[in-house]
Structure 1
């Protein structure tokens, strides 16, 4: 029986033709996705679901998807899909991470120029029969400094276009290597310096816990007077209420926003302000971009449904169906090693080295490397999958090295990930035992055996009597239950590590208590 695909969003009809040409039955119902109940009632009859942003693929929808094998998102953002629920049910979630890049970058430049010359307000005034030539005094962009927050795929295109306008470009991006910055012709700076120097600031970073309100009341005060701010990335990167106050006070000269903290944005603190340009999330809205992502997602879904090939999956590596069963635990291990290192890395990554020893060295190490890099980059970049991760690393000038060797030491196989940053080199190693469950076996040269759980506490400390008791008592008094407690040390009385699995995330207050304990050098929560 031929696979069946439902398209529940407004996708280019070229996607419909691709499915039909490949022998796949397809139903095109572009209004269905907006009705979660109706989607849940219909989804049980389909093997594939192709969507954009209007379809909300909730846990309830996934629970009703008895046949569903793949969800394809035409575009990059998959926040409208319950990925953990899909993963648990064995449904692959794919996206098209690079299809919108040029279109979004061009929209950012368009908004910047519209803002500099007050084009929307001048247009409205002129069409209303006024001739207010003296009212709309603009500024040139030539010779001005553009601060780019997030210099990845889209940010680097914006930087290139801005240089064509003869702007000076500076960039803040913890993952941007100095060599890559030099290649792009941008000056890499810290955030405070970018705020102080920029005439225009444009944001091109995902929304994560670290980037939420990156432009807050506090950071907006650090900007130079007369700055203009452009956001075509994600709502929530800028505190809109604080920005409103900064515009009304005259400190910020204007803003141009395509994205908002609540969408659809029928009301917003920025609406109605002078010299503010707003568009309804048009970053990806060009004929070319919509055609690109629709064609991409149709090809990817058809390939998977007909041959089992996996491309641009956010919850599964790109490996063949034959390799999958044997590799799956090692993929999990590689991703966990990457995530462990990524959550502990706070400065720009220059290089990554992966060592594969024993049986694992004979496997598809390219997929394992991709899994490790995805885990490493995801804490800061979020929208990273095992296909896009190596490309994103290359964009940021991060060198990736693979080393394969025969079995060494006590373990039949292991993977060691070494991350080199501007400040230090850190390594973590792990293995898969016969039970198929990954375990860490070494952190920063200190041997220990630990299985990772959803909520972990990582502590580096001096190996002194009383530390373990003090840590246990602090967690106990805070009603935090310890699931596992793993210890390792370099030498007697030297550096030591505690890796503790706990039943729920630590509050900031309890974490601060742990950091104040005697002999503690660092305490950090980790999530897996």
Structure 2
């Protein structure tokens, strides 16, 4: 038996050595090549299954095009601005990040910058080391009893809130995804953005950069802030209009601002530099020894899990699937892909919608990977390089309406998965189950009960239920030199419409299809491949 090569991973940015150690411990080959140029990366990336990066490597569409074997990109850190996620999705490449490895570090940096603004520490340091003793010049403000406004109360924002409450600050937060229950748990007040702008003595941003958050502190919104407000951004460049912030600092409306992130990085030049009350750091949010070790370990473990067990953690373009879930879900996903492939091959490109229903034991499982597997089978009619990553992308691109339905009821089977597609002729569905919790079986096709394995080369035949048909079908296949593996039959009613799913040992060519279509009573013949 030919040995299966070990997956290979490239670490293309400077990363803690523990990352490479983890890959080797998990049985993967790993090369550490930080500092590659784009052309150098493109020249070698084709030989790797995984790519571990930080912020320096740019994973662009043309890099992905040069990487036919690449399956996963892992970013040691939160931001993935340097990865073309739509292009990765289209190529079927999973993109992961490590959103929690540097959360405490980033939150602490925001608190440090808040202290720096409150007590004018950078200016006081420069003045004192210049031999001046300007004690009366640097009159700061206390944080105690001040109102901190959080724009974004997710993982990092909630840590900042906890630290601020420990400083006896009042904390208010604007976050559309923050529930009242979570706000109560954090001990903070949920408010609308205009309310936050009007009330906050300090504002700190902890939100990703999206179309909704870009420029959230615009000139208009900065004008709504309380006079004397101090602003901190350790999240993403682009959340603040930098020109408007400069004007607000110059006018004195904003008393101070501290930015760790900028629209253009590295920020070698900025109109904000030298502005009184402005503090800048060079994207240090994740720059602690502990954070560097944490994100390196996490990205290595996530990539290794994916390449060895199929586990998907912190992915940005595919449903998460833990290493513990993967073995349990794998047979369901195999069933899902086979059902999707079956209905896709039978209905071709006429589908406008698909519904994925689960019931029984399947209803208690993580349905997202099952849905992705159905789409991976279904989209094979459009692409021969489809997988669970790019299938949802392809479905959306083609305007396919996708619905998920979960039934708690118990049916005829201990677990059931049904895939229903919408076509110009109406809805058509197939259903399957697992035998012994591991073996996928088709149990219904377009309303007809049938039991069949979906594997290898098969023929789908619709015919009028009449005596002698099976014999004629067998004879026709024999004359064509086609050996039958299994023969599975079903019908609506005696003498009505019947279906046959026949597994065969060789490919069915056009001449054989024509011979089968010529048999009396045959309505449809469709070769299938699984």
Same fold by TM-score, threshold 0.5 exceeded?
yes
Indicate which of 44, 47, 51 corresponds to 1:49. 51
Indicate which of 57, 61, 66 corresponds to 1:59. 61
Indicate which of 112, 115, 120 corresponds to 2:114. 112
Partner of 1:426: none
Partner of 1:368: 367
Partner of 1:324: 333
Distance 1:413 1:404 in 2: 14
In structure 2, do the counterparts of structure 1 residues 371 and 210 end up closer, same or farther at CA, with 3 Å as the change threshold? farther
- For the pair 1:29 / 2:33, whether they are aligned, the reply is yes
Distance 1:170 1:37 in 2: 48
Distance 2:272 2:406 in 1: 49
Distance 1:434 1:188 in 2: 45
Partner of 2:446: none
In structure 2, do the counterparts of structure 1 residues 363 and 133 end up closer, same or farther at CA, with 3 Å as the change threshold? same
In structure 2, do the counterparts of structure 1 residues 171 and 193 end up closer, same or farther at CA, with 3 Å as the change threshold? same
Partner of 2:305: 303
Partner of 1:4: 8
Contact between 2:359 and 2:411, CA under 8 Å: does it hold in 1?
no
Contact between 2:419 and 2:429, CA under 8 Å: does it hold in 1?
no
Give the TM-score of the pair, scaled to structure 2.
0.64
Residues 453-472 of structure 1: matches in 2 within 5 Å?
Answer: none
Contact between 1:413 and 1:432, CA under 8 Å: does it hold in 2?
no
RMSD, aligned α-carbons: 3.0
- For the pair 1:173 / 2:175, whether they are aligned, the reply is yes
Contact between 1:357 and 1:407, CA under 8 Å: does it hold in 2?
no
Cα displacement string for residues 361-394 of structure 1 (whole angstroms, at most 9, x for unaligned residues) = 543654326899xxxxxxxxxxxx9xxxxxxxxx
Distance 2:174 2:109 in 1: 20
Deviation at residue 403 of structure 1 after TM alignment: 5.8
Contact between 2:359 and 2:406, CA under 8 Å: does it hold in 1?
no
In structure 2, do the counterparts of structure 1 residues 402 and 112 end up closer, same or farther at CA, with 3 Å as the change threshold? farther
In structure 2, do the counterparts of structure 1 residues 252 and 16 end up closer, same or farther at CA, with 3 Å as the change threshold? same
Contact between 1:69 and 1:91, CA under 8 Å: does it hold in 2?
yes
Query: Which deviates more from structure 2 when the two are superposed, residues 320-329 or residues 139-148?
Result: 320-329
SS of 1:93's partner is strand
Partner of 2:138: 136
Contact between 1:327 and 1:363, CA under 8 Å: does it hold in 2?
no
Contact between 1:142 and 1:165, CA under 8 Å: does it hold in 2?
yes
5+ long unaligned stretches in structure 1: 332-355, 373-384, 386-400, 416-430, 437-528
Contact between 1:227 and 1:252, CA under 8 Å: does it hold in 2?
yes
Distance 1:299 1:6 in 2: 14
Distance 2:255 2:74 in 1: 41
Distance 2:419 2:221 in 1: 44
Max radius of gyration: which structure?
2
Partner of 1:394: none
Indicate which of 282, 285, 289 corresponds to 1:283. 285
Partner of 1:123: 125
Residues 92-491 of structure 1: matches in 2 within 5 Å?
Answer: 92-319=94-321, 320=326, 321-327=330-336, 359=358, 362-363=361-362, 366-368=365-367, 404-405=408-409, 413=418, 434=429
In structure 2, do the counterparts of structure 1 residues 255 and 91 end up closer, same or farther at CA, with 3 Å as the change threshold? same
5+ long unaligned stretches in structure 2: 341-354, 372-388, 390-404, 421-425, 432-530
Distance 1:84 1:117 in 2: 44
Contact between 1:171 and 1:188, CA under 8 Å: does it hold in 2?
yes
Distance 1:131 1:327 in 2: 73
Distance 2:21 2:357 in 1: 47
Distance 2:410 2:220 in 1: 54
